[in-house]
Amino acid sequence: MRHLLSIEQLSKAEIESILERAESFAEVGRRDIKKVPTLRGRTVVSLFYESSTRTGSSFELAAKRLSADLVSVKAAGSSVDKGESLKDTVATLSAYDPAAIVIRHPHAGAAQLVADWSEAAVVNAGDGKHEHPSQALLDVFTLRRRLGSLEGRRIWIVGDVLHSRVARSNLIAFQAMGAEVTVCGPPTLIPRGIEELGCEVSHSLERLGEADVVYVLRMQMERMRESFVPSLREYATHFQIDSRRLGPRQLLMHPGPVNRGVELSGEAIDSPQSLIAEQVAAGLVVRMAILYELLAARGERPAPAEGDGAGRPTPIGQPA
Amino acid sequence: MRAGEAADLVLRGATVLDPAAGIDGAHDVVIRDGRIAELAAPGSAPEDSAESVDAGGLHAFPAFFDPHVHLRTPGQEHKEDIETGTRAAAAGGFCGILAMANTAPPVSTAADVAALRERARAEASVPVAFLATVTRGMEGRELTEMAELRQAGALGFSDDGLPIASARVMRRALQYQRLCGGTIALHEEDPELSGEGVMHEGAVSAALGLAGIPSVSESTMIARDATLAAYEGGRIHVQHLSAAESVEAVRAARAAGVEVSCEVTPHHLCLTDEQVRGLDASRAKMNPPLRADADRQALIAGLRDGTIECIATDHAPHAPEDKEVPFEGAAMGVTGLETAFAALHTDLVVPGAIDLALLVERMGGGAEPFGLERPSLAPGSEANVALCDLAAEWTVGEDGYESRSHNSWCAGRKLTGRVLMTIAGGQVSYRLRSFSLGVAS
């Protein structure tokens, strides 16, 4: 694996390999010193054109836990603000010879373009409404820890599927791992033709009882102004997952951030069925595994262990 | 077109095909003083001082007419200008093109039209006609001085690039057309339905998470404007049909007696929205978007049964910086002049979807809807000839482009069939560089 651009590119075996690696990092996370030297001397650029709390911070912490040097570029306050094109920004950052570029961008295909323009391994941290592969991997990781296998499990993805990159990546990942997926939401928020990805479509929660896992998507407030739903109240009446609708043996997931009282009721969030906190924890170890898989597992360019004999200095903190 | 030497040559032993004129057979095509003097029996044309071209095994067609080209002049000459755009047209076998008015600023005044015609007389390799906008500055609110624009030489009107969103403005334009004449060419799209869409709405847009432009965004506007044209007795031309519903809407309008013509592009006839999966904006982003295969089949059927009378390239050059960005942010449009015939020959004629005669007929069908004469090989006609080698294989872009821009929808594709020489408006306007000519001694 040279880049992580989409879930679609990964086989089941590749997904499993990343998740097993993540398990080993989970073990590191329980130690007092949570840092490993794997990526010492290598540079990871985090390039975020959209705001993000979870994804951005967990990728950055993952890079630091692996001892990489981190350059964090946010669109606001950078040359991007001054109208620099993505291509020129990538060319500029490439001067630092980064081992990896983690990019989030509001447009589909941005990560692929960066991969075309740069020598670095590229991680798609969300491209438009297209894909969010690291989210899908951490969700599969979380579910496998709880369920063992996803084979034959029924997963309902509920909410604003139309505007959700998480829905698309998870739909593909869950199916790759053997689960059966139903997407559910009002017809205005389910994209025409989505069933050709192999899922079922429902516009009602009537059959929600059949689900082993209920994966709820964030309802964005601005969708209401665009008349995708008449009101949040009506949306909640039909699609909010609350303690009445959520069965005791069903697992509840959400990619965050949650709108309490809209797509999820407060008691559902805090219920024992909820895996939301585990998803966040999984985010860190899965993202460490992704960086490791891309930069260290293949051993393409190991960090220099000592002076190279050409007069260049030994990297700081390494034995001479 | 720039003044030059009138063509004086003989195409010896060419397979001559002009379905509209009922010509189909081997002839020596004798061109004298820029006109078709004679279609002589092969080998019978006299040897004289005129240039002699060995056209054995080659096809001579009436050169093509493209009713939909963006020359980007004035204002965006870094993408294309009259010289490069008409050179691209000549390389594609076209003997005439119609330039769209959505330049920067748009062609909205008589002075704009006059200036463009003046420049074309100095720079153009093939005859160019100009449209003016329907509304001032393409703002969709007030009509341009349509009568004065016509007097200045505007062939017709179009706000192409944008629809005329207001039904009231559209109706007024059709009413005023009774005074000034000139076909109104329409980019049919309901901006409310298209919204932020960047590709066809369907399974591929669902998979890519891209906002979709539904087929009905086009067909509902065609139905609206056909109804208005019927009510006002107007004459409309529907540009770049893309959807099955649109073909049906035109068919219904014509059956109801509306004076409507329409065009289809090579890329909508050859590609589907599957092409967008690679998110390559340079090749696959345009408006109207590439649609589903059922739409493509409906367009081919419409071309065959005559619902669609002509092929138009919607040649839309863009600079690399407008295309080398993520798909959603990229400019809409692809170039097509240099590849139109070869691509349609490769994708439709060779596999048997349409026959060669139909393609040749439709490639010339864009002149009459705008009141121009169809290019013809009948003796006595002005010489407008596309000399083609149907067996030649070539890779698009391998030798660069005549166009200033490189956003060809079939860049890198291997095509079968190539234009070797174009005679336009009675002058030789193009010869393929490697096409060697035997000159009679």
CA distance B11 to A218: 70
Tokens coding A41: 């001397």
Q: Which stretches within chain A are classed as H helix?
A: 12-29, 54-65, 86-94, 110-117, 133-147, 165-176, 222-225, 232-239, 266-269, 276-295
Residue B43's Cβ-count burial label (10 Å; 0-12, 13-18, 19+) is exposed
Q: Do B438 and B52 touch, CB atoms closer than 8 A? A: yes
CA distance A65 to A24: 13
pLDDT at A298: 63
The whole-angstrom distance between A256's CA and the closest CA on chain B is 19
The whole-angstrom distance between B326's CA and the closest CA on chain A is 5
B326 and A128: CB-CB below 8 Å? Answer: yes
pLDDT at A305: 41
pLDDT at A226: 81
Task: Name the residue in chain A with its Cα closest to that of B292.
Answer: A193
A168 and B205: CB-CB below 8 Å? Answer: no
On the question of pLDDT at B440 being above 90, the answer is no
The whole-angstrom distance between A165's CA and the closest CA on chain B is 7
Q: For chain A, which domains are there?
A: 12-131+283-295 (3.40.50.1370), 133-278 (3.40.50.1370)
Collapsing DSSP to helix, strand or coil, B7 comes out as coil
Contacts of B204 in chain A (CB under 8 A): 193
Angle subtended at Cα B128 by Cα B127 and Cα B132, rounded to the nearest 5 degrees: 160
Contacts of A130 in chain B (CB under 8 A): 208-210
Question: What is the pLDDT confidence band of residue A310, given thresholds at 50, 70 and 90?
Answer: very low
Contacts of A128 in chain B (CB under 8 A): 209-210, 326, 328
pLDDT at B441: 34
CB atoms within 10 A of CB A237: 9
Question: What is the pLDDT confidence band of residue A297, given thresholds at 50, 70 and 90?
Answer: confident
On the question of pLDDT at A312 being above 80, the answer is no
Over range B415-440, report the average pLDDT. 85
A41 near B CB under 8 A:
no
Tokens coding B212: 């979709």
pLDDT at A82: 74
| Better-predicted residue by pLDDT, A300 or B1 | B1
Q: Do B389 and B14 touch, CB atoms closer than 8 A? A: no
B279 and A85: CB-CB below 8 Å? Answer: no
Helix (H) or strand (E) holding B219: helix B216-232
Tokens coding A139: 């969700």
A108 and B204: CB-CB below 8 Å? Answer: no
Contacts of B215 in chain A (CB under 8 A): none
Question: What is the pLDDT confidence band of residue A309, given thresholds at 50, 70 and 90?
Answer: very low
Largest Cα–Cα distance of chain A, in whole Å?
72
Weakest-pLDDT range from A76-90, B53-67, B188-202, B336-350: A76-90
Active-site hit among B18, B81, B190, B314: B314
Over range B292-307, report the average pLDDT. 98
Q: Which numeric CATH code is attached to B63-370?
A: 3.20.20.140
Distance from chain centroid for Cα A37: 24
A86 and B326: CB-CB below 8 Å? Answer: yes
Angle subtended at Cα A156 by Cα A151 and Cα A158, rounded to the nearest 5 degrees: 155
CA distance A42 to A59: 15
Contacts of A197 in chain B (CB under 8 A): 203, 206-207
Collapsing DSSP to helix, strand or coil, B127 comes out as coil
| Partner residue opposite B206 with nearest CB, options A108, A110, A192 | A192
pLDDT at B437: 52
Task: Name the residue in chain A with its Cα closest to that of B326.
Answer: A110
The predicted-structure confidence for B170-208, as pLDDT tens digits, reads as follows 999 999 999 999 999 999 999 999 999 999 999 999 999
pLDDT over 90 percentage in chain B:
96
Largest Cα–Cα distance of chain B, in whole Å?
66
* Average pLDDT across chain B, whole number: 96
A87 and B325: CB-CB below 8 Å? Answer: yes
Task: Name the residue in chain B with its Cα closest to that of A167.
Answer: B209
pTM: 0.93
pLDDT at B439: 44
Contacts of B212 in chain A (CB under 8 A): 191-192
Residue B139's alpha-carbon distances to B145, B166, B314, B363, in angstroms, are 14, 11, 21, 32
ipTM value: 0.89
| Partner residue opposite A197 with nearest CB, options B201, B207, B279 | B207
A107 and B204: CB-CB below 8 Å? Answer: no
pLDDT at B50: 83
On the question of pLDDT at B374 being above 50, the answer is yes
Over range B128-143, report the average pLDDT. 98
| Partner residue opposite A107 with nearest CB, options B212, B214, B326 | B326
| Better-predicted residue by pLDDT, A312 or B321 | B321
The predicted-structure confidence for A192-236, as pLDDT tens digits, reads as follows 999 999 999 999 999 999 999 999 999 977 666 788 999 999 999
| Partner residue opposite A193 with nearest CB, options B203, B211, B326 | B203
* Average pLDDT across chain A, whole number: 91
A193 and B204: CB-CB below 8 Å? Answer: yes
Task: Name the residue in chain A with its Cα closest to that of B204.
Answer: A193
Q: Which of the 8 DSSP states describes residue A241? A: B
The predicted-structure confidence for A108-166, as pLDDT tens digits, reads as follows 999 999 999 999 999 999 999 999 999 999 999 999 999 999 999 999 999 999 999 99
B327 and A112: CB-CB below 8 Å? Answer: no
Tokens coding B20: 């509209």
| Partner residue opposite A130 with nearest CB, options B201, B209, B329 | B209
Annotated active-site residue B305? The verdict is: no
B209 and A128: CB-CB below 8 Å? Answer: yes
The number of C-alpha atoms within 13 Å of B255 and in the hemisphere containing its C-beta is 8
On the question of pLDDT at B313 being above 80, the answer is yes
pLDDT at B435: 67
Domain coordinates of chain B in residue numbers? 63-370
